[in-house]
Amino acid sequence: MWKIVLVIAALAAWLLFNRPDQLPSRVLAVAGSKDTIMKVGQVGGACPSQRCLTIYVAPWCPSCRAMEPTINALGHQLEAEGMTVRLVVGSDTMSAVREYARKFDRRVLLDPDGAYFNESGLRGVPYFAVTDADGRILEARYGGRTTVAGMREFLDL
């Protein structure tokens, strides 16, 4: 019995402390506000500003849908302050991902097959990561708040 407890404790510790210190870099298709794929964009890796906020959401996620207005408002506020915001919609069919991307008033990176989600070792959505200029994760959180002020506090921004 103690061996089972030890294995469970080791697994829990590994999940808790074995977080990546950097998001992997990947080039993804970019959806424009008119649902057309315009070009490609990079997610992860080096940040063109001092800090970046990477947000990963999925069309099937009720929490993500509830946070749409907050994500849009937070993105505008942070970009006005000079922070780069990268929004990734993924882990669903291409048509669902494109349709959901239209809900956001910014360029959206598309990850329909969830390859970036899996490569990043993410375990759920919505996911928010604040990274520095070198791409190191400073703050990472699952879930969120439904107000901009709440999200800023949640992400220590």
pLDDT in tens, 44-56: 788 899 999 999 9
pLDDT of residue 1: 63
pLDDT of residue 6: 47
One-letter amino acid at 37 equals I
pLDDT in tens, 123-149: 999 999 999 999 899 999 999 999 999
Q: Estimate the share of the chain in helix, then strand, then coil, as percent rounded to the nearest 5.
A: 35, 30, 35
One-letter amino acid at 131 equals T
Whether residue 126 has a cis bond before it, omega within 30° of 0: yes
Give the span between the Cα atoms of 153 and 101, in whole angstroms: 26
Average predicted confidence (pLDDT) for the chain = 84
The DSSP secondary structure of 10-33, one letter per residue, reads HHHHHHHH---SBPPPEEEEEE-T
pLDDT in tens, 89-115: 999 999 999 999 999 998 899 999 999
Rg of the chain over Cα atoms, rounded to whole angstroms, equals 16
Helix (H) or strand (E) segment spanning residue 78: helix 68-80
Coil, strand or helix: which one is 95? helix
pLDDT in tens, 19-53: 558 777 666 777 764 544 456 677 778 889 999 99
User: C-alpha angle 50/36/28, rounded to 5°?
Assistant: 45
Number of CB atoms found within 10 A of residue 21's CB: 10
pLDDT of residue 17: 45
